[in-house]
Chain A
């Protein structure tokens, strides 16, 4: 998890940060499952399930936002020329 965090902090492009965020979410899901098993609290598994769904939706939403911004930028550039 620390390695993914380092990549998220120093990633050269925004996509590196996004990839690291996605990987961090997956690792969090695995970590929550292991914690639920080690502490004998099966209700933590619901948290892991919700985390997996929210992580996916968040990544898709941010990607859609960035893509719209890129389209906007290229449109502005071609209009300026």
Chain B
């Protein structure tokens, strides 16, 4: 039973690390602020849930699990709020999102 929980938690931790890495790569390589925001939100949702869930499984039923749940709750509450404020501020300052398909892809053909 402990073995199964160990394996599950390490799987979750590894998947969370992969998601955080993908989010970082996406935030670096996406062409546009809004697409970059989309990639960064991957870090906030999948990465945080998987990593904190994995540590929660390792910690067992202790005070640490409650603290981790509080961190997870705050992250899930605050990161969409921050993203929304960021996007609305960017729109208000006149930064337009690109429209239509990306032109770089059309040039390749």
Contact = CB atoms under 8 A, between A and B. Distances in A.
Q: Do A and B come from one complex?
A: yes
Interface of A: 1-4, 6-7, 13, 15-16, 18-20, 22-23, 26-27, 29-30, 33-34, 36-37, 42, 45-46, 48-49, 52-53, 55-56, 59-60, 63, 66-67, 70
A63 B86 contact: yes
A22 B58 contact: no
Interface of B: 13, 16, 20-21, 23-25, 27-28, 33, 36-37, 40, 43-44, 47-48, 51-52, 55, 58-59, 62-64, 67-68, 70-71, 74-75, 78-79, 81-83, 85-86, 89-90, 92-93, 95
State the majority secondary structure of interface residues on B: helix
Given A19-B36, A52-B71, A60-B85, 15 more contacts: A4-B40, A13-B95, A15-B93, A15-B95, A22-B79, A22-B83, A27-B20, A29-B71, A30-B47, A33-B52, A34-B51, A37-B59, A42-B63, A49-B67, A56-B79
22 contacts: A2-B24, A3-B24, A3-B25, A4-B24, A6-B28, A15-B90, A15-B95, A18-B86, A19-B40, A20-B40, A26-B47, A26-B79, A33-B55, A37-B58, A42-B63, A45-B68, A48-B71, A49-B67, A60-B81, A63-B85, A63-B86, A66-B93
